[in-house]
Amino acid sequence: MGGFFPGSFLFGAGLLWIPSASLIMRGPAASLVKRFHHKTGAGLGEKLMRLPTRTQVAIIGAGPAGLLLGQLLHKAGIEAVILEQRSADYVLGRIRAGVIEQTTAQLLERAGVGARMQAEGLVHHGFSLCVDGVRQRIDLSRHTGGKTVTVYGQTEITRDLMQARKASGLLTAYEAENVTPLDFDTAQPKVRFEADGALHELSCDIIAGCDGFHGICRASVPQSAITLYEKIYPFGWLGLLADVPPVDDELIYVRHARGFALCSMRSKTRSRYYLQCDLNDSVANWSDDAFWAELRRRLDPAAAAALTTGPSLEKSIAPLRSFVAEPLRFGRLFLAGDAAHIVPPTGAKGLNLAASDVHYLVEALEGFFRSGQDAALVHYSPRALARIWKAERFSWWFTSLLHRFDGAESAFDERLRGAELAYLMQSEAAQAALAENYVGLGF
């Protein structure tokens, strides 16, 4: 085991120079950065820097899971290098999650990146269910002893984490190609990758696979060591982002004979709307006018009348899937976030589950680096999976309840769904269970 050496990057014999729009460094490298900065007078983004050959935790992927893990490890005095295949701008350009559980918000505060979320995030105490034109408010706070969710975009969380990383001089290597985790069944794992046309090797104690659903880490595990559970839904979500005020102060989840819809937002001036669509549908089939007209049809009359429309900033179609990989640990390789599981976005759990994985992983890694014992690592997978499966259940249930299945289920199933919706709209107990899961279960 490499031990606990805050600030101690070890450099290989060979100097490796790479264009550093992609790099931010700490430790011995930081002085190199300054010298170069003074010599050239160039901005930070234009300097050339060296890459370390050793760290404690090699994190693959700079999405929310990888960046939050890096930040919390830094707070705990554990070194990490993040390797990301895309550019920072590309990562920031992905429009995704927007609803943050209270536990996730607390974790971001603990990581020291909560200030802008607190200042600009919208705290929501409830949301509405609209079933065939009738709206029912679900009072999250009343049913959960005062808990709330915060509307704050994944893009903003990512930006805050990137800036915190940069301010601390921590290393993220963007545009790293052919990143490959190796020897993770031994105590000396390493990650091989290419940058600036050269091959590099980063040796480490731990590899954290935070590289999303299509990443390399899960794919590197022998098939016999992993079990995959998956459910594909027979529909997708057509999403539209626009700089228009939201139709309501809170989210509206819509069940309608024409299909599901969701009225969400990123701020008081930026709205995010979704329509259930066919899996084979294409964005090219949807002009902005067609989107707004279809959304109006699925809303209740008051919401339809209040809807402000405008030109789309972004439109995309996402398929819906439930997926879990088990276990989450393979020797010294750990999976976290979308690399390990996917939920349909209906329950707003994906980003939040990535955060809870990171919470459990940081606890395990702190124990490991403190004690030097592999025994500290054994609880990560079962603890994280217990919470993951509860969120999978909730996301599947909420998705099944609100979407149209178009013959993919029997008429009996349809009648049961109608009865469940009627029960939910009337029963305080059912609404309390929905609220408890929506605000997020405790760690």
Ligand X SMILES: Cc1cc2nc3c(=O)[nH]c(=O)nc-3n(C[C@H](O)[C@H](O)[C@H](O)COP(=O)(O)OP(=O)(O)OC[C@H]3O[C@@H](n4cnc5c(N)ncnc54)[C@H](O)[C@@H]3O)c2cc1C
Q: Which residues are catalytic?
A: 124, 253, 345, 349, 438
190 makes contact with ligand X (CB under 6 A) = no
The 3-state secondary structure of the chain, one letter per residue: CCCCCCCCCECCCCCCCEEHHHCCCCCHHHHHHHHHHHHHCCCHHHCEECCCCECCEEEECCCHHHHHHHHHHHHCCCCEEEECCCCHHHHHCCCCCCEEEHHHHHHHHHCCCCHHHHHHCEEECEEEEEECCEEEEEEHHHHCCCCCEEECCHHHHHHHHHHHHHHCCCCEECCCEEEEEECCCCCCCEEEEEECCEEEEEECCEEEECCCCCCCCHHHCCHHHCEEEEEEEEEEEEEEEECCCCCCCCCEEEECCCCCEEEEECCCCCEEEEEEECCCCCHHHCCHHHHHHHHHHHCCHHHHHHCCCCCEEEEEEEEEEEEEEECCEECCEEECHHHCEECCHHHCCHHHHHHHHHHHHHHHHHHHHHHCCHHHHCCHHHHHHHHHHHHHHHHHHHHHHHCCCCCCCCHHHHHHHHHHHHHHHHCHHHHHHHHHHHHCCCC
Q: Which of 79, 84, 160, 175 binds ligand X (CB under 6 A)?
A: 84
Among 37, 75, 86, 192, binds ligand X (CB under 6 A): 86
> Interface with ligand X includes 179 (CB under 6 A)?
yes
Beta bridge partner(s), residue 149: 101, 124
Q: In sequence order, what are the beta bridge partners of 48?
A: 19
Binding mask 367-406 for ligand X (x = CB under 6 A): ----------------------------------------
Length of the chain, please?
Answer: 443
Structure tokens at 389: 């499966």
62 binds ligand X (CB under 6 A): yes
User: Mask 281-320, x = binds ligand X (CB under 6 A)?
Assistant: -------------------------------------x--
Q: How far is the CB of 16 from ligand X (least distance, A)?
A: 18
Q: Which of residues 332 and 349 has its CB atom nearest to ligand X in the complex? A: 349
Q: Find the part of the chain contacting ligand X (CB under 6 A) among 31-39, 278-286, 349-357, 381-389.
A: 349-357
Q: Is 96 in the site for ligand X (CB under 6 A)?
A: yes
Out of 338, 361, 383, 404, which residue is the one contacting ligand X (CB under 6 A)? 338
Residue of the chain from 23, 204, 295, 354 that contacts ligand X (CB under 6 A): 354
Q: Are strands 206-209 and 333-335 parallel, antiparallel or unpaired?
A: parallel
Binding to ligand X in span 149-178, by CB under 6 A = 154, 176
Alpha-carbon gap, residue 434 to 174, rounded angstroms: 40
Among 2, 27, 52, 61, binds ligand X (CB under 6 A): 61
For ligand X, the closer of residues 27 and 181 by Cβ is: 181
For the CB of residue 87, give the shortest distance to ligand X in the complex, in Å: 9
Pick the binder of ligand X from 212, 236, 246, 344 (CB under 6 A).
212
* Contacts of residue 283, Cβ cutoff 8 Å, sequence gap at least 6: 238, 315, 316, 317
Among the residue ranges 19-27, 118-126, 206-214, 285-293, the one whose residues contact ligand X (CB under 6 A): 206-214
Residue 60 binds ligand X (CB under 6 A): yes
Applying CB under 6 A, which part among 44-52, 181-189, 341-349, 391-399 lies near ligand X? Answer: 341-349
The residue count for binding ligand X (CB under 6 A) is 35
Nearer to ligand X, 71 or 154 (CB): 154
Residue 98 in contact with ligand X, rule: CB under 6 A: yes
Shortest separation between residue 184's beta carbon and ligand X, angstroms: 15
| Whole-number Cα distances in Å, 436 to 139, 391, 430, 440 | 10, 11, 10, 6
Asked if residue 52 binds ligand X (CB under 6 A), the reply is no
Binds ligand X by CB under 6 A, chosen from 337, 400, 403, 435: 337
97 is an interface residue for ligand X by CB under 6 A: yes
At its nearest, how many Å lie between ligand X and the CB of residue 353? 7
CB 284 within 8 Å of CB 277: no
Instruction: By CB under 6 A, tell whether 216 contacts ligand X.
Output: yes
The yes or no reply on residue 239 touching ligand X (CB under 6 A) is yes
Q: Does 437 bind ligand X (CB under 6 A)?
A: no
Q: How far is the CB of 383 from ligand X (least distance, A)?
A: 17
Binding site for ligand X (CB under 6 A): 60-66, 83-86, 91, 96-99, 154, 176, 179, 210-212, 215-216, 239, 318, 337-338, 345, 348-352, 354
